Amino acid sequence: MSADLYWMIIRDNNAYISKKRDIKKPFSTEPGNLKNVASFRYNGLVHPKTVDIQPAKDNKGFVVTTKRPKKQNKPGKSFISVTMTAGPRRSLYKLRKYLTGSNYRKDLVQVALRKASAILESQKRSAIIAKKSTGKKSE
Instruction: Give residue-wise pLDDT tens across range 36-69.
Output: 888 898 888 888 888 899 999 888 899 998 888 8
Helix (H) / strand (E) element for 62: namely: strand 62-67
Residue 85 CA, chain-centre distance (Å), reads 16
Q: What is the pTM of this model?
A: 0.79
37: CB partners within 8 A, 6+ apart: 25, 27, 28
Percent of the chain with pLDDT over 90: 22
Q: Which residue has the higher pLDDT, 36 or 78?
A: 36
